[in-house]
Structure 1
Amino acid sequence: MGSGKRSLTTATLFLACACACAVLATPGVAYASPAPKPTSTGSPRPAPTPGAGGAATPAPGATATGTPKPVSNRELEAVRARLDKLYHDAAVATDAYNAAEEKAEKQSAEIVDLAREIVKGQAKLDELKDRAGAAARAQYRGGGLPPEARLWLSDNPQRFLDGAGRVRAGEHATKGLLGEMARTQQDLKQYEQDASAQWKKLEANREAKAEAQKKITKKIAAAEELESRLEKKEKERLAKLEEEAAYQAQSAWLGSGVLADIKSKGSAAGKKAVKYATDQIGKPYVWGAEGPGSFDCSGLTSQAWAAAGHPIPRTSQEQWKQLKHVPVEDMRPGDLVIYFDDASHVGMYIGDGAIVHAPRPGRNVTIAGAGSMRILGVVRPDA
């Protein structure tokens, strides 16, 4: 990406958001029929207490007297819901930033092409003007007598008639030359108008990028501030609640029997895309990044498919709009799983009920359960 992108340093986080939970130990482990996770005593771990997602986020910390007060699971669930919302909004803004940048790059290239055409057109017009001037000078040197008088005065009538034919041909050529000059001038005018329109669009997209960047920075800063108010033990408890939520979502997804219907093998290009994506495991999420050292969610999937020889749209929303939709039960390794109603997140299916994805700021590229987030649908880049 261009120099406009920068890495946003996030606080070291212990909690996991919905995009990063249910991590698989290895890509080959199937997420089938998971058993309830035991506690340290060996008894099944209870489900987390339902949160009050719509309530105001509590302010964990000290009481009015300065004494640390315990934070309940209900309060932590509210914190988790607030963090999910902040990181989701940051992801939406990141998609807007990426889309604006992609458009700006395209418009910049179009402006460069138009500038080249203007230069070429101007050079052609200058050449045509020179040729027209030369033709005019030649006619002037021929004199202003009418053809009949020049024929009568000529000592070689045949030579005159031959010359007259060349003159008529020259006159036709001159008319064609003037017509070509007019067309070239019109082309130049159109190129200049197109360049002006593209420049206005470029400026609009630069403004959109700047606005999206402000939103991303604001949302991530708010998430970091909220997390910083938690004690270490509270962060650990919050991480467990987060893990449980993702685990239960994946279990419910698998409980529907969907994995039993997923039997398709990846295409040759799909296998290449999966290899590229899994080779990036451990690299950090950075909004707007397309590698090689860091990625955002759609930066990872778009670069993986570019490496497989199938360029695809840059953003998760455009991937959802432009690529072929396939039923979840028909997905195969290399297909892209699009998440949330606004298509704000994407991961790549790698088989065995798992995806590889770049979750969010503060997380690294990792493997997660395909059903650990709310699935919008599946698209196939090489359909």
Structure 2
Amino acid sequence: MLILPLAVGGPAWAHPDDDPPPPAPSATAATSTATATVQPPSGPEAPPATAELLSRTDGVAALLVRLQELRHQAEQAAQESTARDAELAARQAEVDRTDGQIAAQQQQVDASEGEAARLAGEQYRDGGLSGITRFLFSLTPTGLLSEAGDLQERSRSESDVVRELRAGRSRLAALGDTARQARVQAQLAADRARTARDAAQREASGIEAQLTALTDAQRSQLDQREGALADLAEQRLVASGLLGTGGGPATPAAATAVGYAMAQLGKPYLWGGTGPDAYDCSGLTSKAWEAAGVPMPRTSQEQWASLPRVPLDALRPGDLIIYFPDATHVGLYLGNGLMVNAPHTGAVIRVAPVAAMPVLGAVRPKA
């Protein structure tokens, strides 16, 4: 597991030697605290132009930290929401499947009851109350067993019908229990999904509220500072030797995935989005690989947990770069130290340096 704290943001971005940022500074308070709380990442000195830009945008450094914290929280909530929605869909599919089994089983029971009624009618016309008739009206399990045993001695056809009917009713009762449990689990999944969606919406609203309070000058400075820090982090990652070119060229499937992702450039980020008009981070990567005919886990956490790991010095185009210790963001590697991703609420799909966020590691879809 590799965590590269190479770019500025919330605590995950900050260098270990930096002072922690103050809690939740407001847009107006940010300028008075920024210089003391946020420093550029350590390592080789920044190029003069980058150093000058970082110095010029020190006034919004703390605000950038807070916005990055909010973005990360929002993405955590969005990925959780997506996972819970998938759970809900699976639970609902289980309910639907069980309901279908119940309907089919009910048809079998109805058929068996019809056959039993026919036999009972024939025996009644022949005189007396038959064993199968008493079976049909028996209300206790012991009565059912007793009558079934008697019938086996009297008539092979009657015992066959009774056995089928008894098994059918038992199976129907079991399916009913399964359906009730499935509905309870589906309701719990629905509650979890609703809670996760509410959390994601709250976090996204927090970002929007912060951005609304910014002046145009602050927005411009934030964009400049974020870009400069990402470029500097990428230079340091390349200089470290951790990012190699040993993975070789893209496979045909990976090339298709890369082509799909690049065709989405400029489309907006949307939590839970899977296209075609908007995407979240894992929605983009999963759809890109599905376009190449490779089924993919839906969330970045699932992609990190289930796909084969690949070292950064063996990256090849199409690999997935996983970010943050909790694996809450993912981008698609393009080569030459760049990746394409759906960054966060308020942003569009774009190409960025691999080190734009703290790298957890990389995985390779099985193509």
Task: Name the TM-score class by shorter chain.
Answer: 0.7 to 0.9
Is 1:209 aligned with 2:202? no
Point out the structure with max Rg over C-alpha.
1
1:71 is displaced (CA, Å) by 7.5
1: distance between equivalents of 2:152 and 2:24?
90
SS at match of 1:326: coil
Please show how residues 276-315 of structure 1 align to structure 2 within 5 Å.
Answer: 276-315=260-299
Per-residue CA deviations over 1:98-126 (Å, capped at 9, x if unaligned) read 01111111221221121111111111101
Relative to structure 1, is the Cα distance of residues 373 and 122 closer, same or farther in structure 2, using a 3 angstrom cutoff? same
SS at structure 2 position matched to 1:266? coil
Aligned length: 313
Aligned identity (percent) is 33
Q: Is the 8 A contact 1:286 1:361 kept in 2?
A: yes
- 1: CA distance between counterparts of 2:108 and 2:324? 54
Deviation at residue 96 of structure 1 after TM alignment: 0.9
One of 316, 327, 331 as aligned partner of 2:300: 316
* Structure 1 residues 346 and 170: CA distance shift in structure 2, 3 A: farther
Unmatched runs of 5 consecutive residues or more in structure 2:
1-6, 11-16, 36-56, 129-150
| In structure 2, C-alpha distance between the alignment counterparts of 1:264 and 1:176, rounded to whole Å | 67
Please tell me whether residue 178 in structure 1 is matched to residue 162 in structure 2: yes
CA contact (8 A) 1:118 1:188 kept: yes
Match of 1:376 in 2: 360
Q: Does the C-alpha gap of structure 1 residues 181 and 213 become closer, same or farther in structure 2, counting only changes over 3 Å? A: same
| CA 18–347 in structure 1, closer or farther in 2 if over 3 Å, else same | farther
Distance, in Å, in 2 between the alignment partners of 1:308 and 1:171 is 62
- TM-score under structure 2 length normalisation: 0.77
Q: Tell me the residue number matched to 1:54.
A: 21
Higher helix share: 2
Question: In structure 1, what is the equivalent of residue 251 of structure 2?
Answer: 267
Task: Report the equivalent of 1:257.
Answer: 241
Distance 1:57 1:126, change over 3 A: closer
For structure 1, the 5+ residue unaligned runs are: 1-15, 20-49, 63-67, 145-166
CA distance in 2, matches of 1:181, 1:97: 45
* Matches of 1:373 and 1:324, distance apart in 2: 21
Secondary structure of 1:364's partner? coil
Distance in 2 between residues matched to 1:58 and 1:283, nearest whole Å: 30
Residues 172-251 of structure 1: pairs in structure 2 closer than 5 A = 172-251=156-235
C-alpha displacement at 1:141, in angstroms?
4.4
Alignment-derived partner of residue 128 in structure 1: 112
Show CA shifts across 1:190-212 (max 9, x none).
22222222212222222222222
From 93, 104, 127, the counterpart of 1:109: 93
C-alpha distance in structure 1 between counterparts of 2:67 and 2:252, whole Å: 39
> SS in structure 2 opposite 1:214?
helix
RMSD: 2.9
Give the superposition deviation at 1:228. Answer: 3.0
2-side partners of 1:55 and 1:275: how far apart?
42
Q: Deviations over 1:261-315 (max 9, x none)?
A: 4342222221211111111111110111110100000111111122111111111
Contact kept? 2:297, 2:303, Cα under 8 Å = yes
TM-score by length of 1: 0.74
In the TM superposition, what whole-angstrom CA distance separates every residue of 1:302-342 from its partner, at most 9, and x where no partner exists? 11122111111111111111122222222222221111100
Secondary structure, counterpart of 1:206 in structure 2: helix
Which whole-Å deviations, capped at 9, do the CAs of 1:247-269 have from their partners, x for residues lacking one? 12111111122344434222222
* Distance in 1 of aligned mates of 2:99 and 2:228: 57
Once the two structures are TM-superposed, the CA of residue 51 in structure 1 deviates from its matched residue by 7.0
SS across alignment from 2:309: strand
